[in-house]
């Protein structure tokens, strides 16, 4: 390897190390992390919204061919929501527009993400994993209402 080559190699490694350091910082320092292995919630066969406190919710989403349960959910602005997701049949996808919630619904396993809705508005959720002939119609939404207290 000559000097220029070594330079290119070191530059590449430095660049990637820098990127990786930022990723780790975002994951561990800012708590922007990817889904992990969840064992404290068992797979369920019904979707539901559970309210723990005025601004604390838990939503159990069940993805099925070709709808989500619960269907449209209304929440007050500022809510922190623990989102659980599983599938009742095949693999489905689940992305809440405008957030970092991006999950896979896999039968027999539980996906989990926490999200805080700071702004009012309509948050669309689409199934983004192919799940059969009705896939393109599989969607739901979370409506976050401004200023309301429940």
Partner 1 sequence: MKVEGSIKTVILGEIIFPILLLIFGIYHGLMQALYRAGIIKDMSFLGIEYYQGLTLHGVINAVVFTTMVIVAFGNAVFLYYLKRPLRPAVQWASFLMMVIGTLMAAWAMFAGKANVLYTFYLPLIAHPAFYIGAALLLVGSIVPLFFDWAPNYISWRREHPGEKVPLAVFGVFVNHIMWVIMLVPVVITVVFQMLPLSLGLVSEVNPSLSRTLFWAFGHPLVYFWLLPAYTMLYTVLPKIVTGEGKLYSDSAARFAFILFILFSFPVGLHHQFTEPAVTNSYKLVQALFTFGVAVPSMLTAFTVAASLEYSIKSKYPEVKNSLFYWWTKIPYISLEGDKWLVSYFMAGLFLFFVGGITGIVNASYNVNLVVHNTSFVPGHFHTTVGGLVTLSLLGISLYLVSKLMGKEIRFKGLAVLAPWLWWQGMLIFEYAMSVAGLHGFPRRTNTGISYLNPDSPLYRPEWVGYAELSAFAAFIIVLGFIFWAISFFGTLLSPSVREGSLEFPTAEALHDEKAPALNRLTPWFAISVALFVLSYIPALYDVTKRGVFFDSPGYTDKNPVPITKPQSAKEEKSTAEVK
The residues that touch partner 1, with contacts defined as CB under 8 A, are 1-2, 4-5, 8-9, 11-13, 15-16, 19-20, 23-24, 26-27, 32-39, 42-43, 45, 64-66, 85-86, 89-91, 93, 95, 97-98, 100-104, 106-112, 124, 126-133, 135-137, 139
Alpha-carbon distance of 150 to 145, in angstroms, equals: 10
Q: Minimum CB separation from partner 1 for residue 120, in Å? A: 18
Alpha-carbon distance of 75 to 81, in angstroms, equals: 9
Q: Minimum CB separation from partner 1 for residue 113, in Å? A: 9
Alpha-carbon distance of 59 to 95, in angstroms, equals: 14
Specify the residue, 28 or 150, whose C-beta has the smaller distance to partner 1: 28
Q: How many residues does the chain have?
A: 150
Contact 72, 6 (CB under 8 A): no
Specify the residue, 49 or 90, whose C-beta has the smaller distance to partner 1: 90
Cβ neighbours of 11 (radius 10 Å): 10
């Amino acid at each position: 390897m000559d000097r220029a080559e070594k330079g290119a190699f070191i530059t590449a490694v430095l660049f990637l190390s820098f990127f990786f350091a930022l990723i780790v910082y975002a994951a561990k320092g800012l708590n922007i992390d990817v889904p992990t292995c969840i064992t404290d919630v068992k797979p369920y066969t019904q979707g539901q919204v559970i309210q723990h406190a005025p601004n604390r919710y838990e939503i159990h989403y069940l993805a099925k061919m070709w709808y989500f349960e619960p269907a449209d959910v209304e929440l007050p602005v500022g809510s922190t929501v623990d989102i659980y997701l599983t599938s009742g049949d095949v693999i489905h996808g689940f992305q809440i527009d405008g957030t970092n919630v991006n999950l896979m619904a896999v039968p027999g396993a539980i996906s989990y993400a926490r999200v805080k809705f700071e702004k009012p508005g309509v948050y669309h959720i689409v199934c983004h994993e192919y799940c059969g002939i009705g896939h393109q119609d599989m969607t739901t939404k979370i409506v976050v209402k401004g200023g309301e207290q429940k």
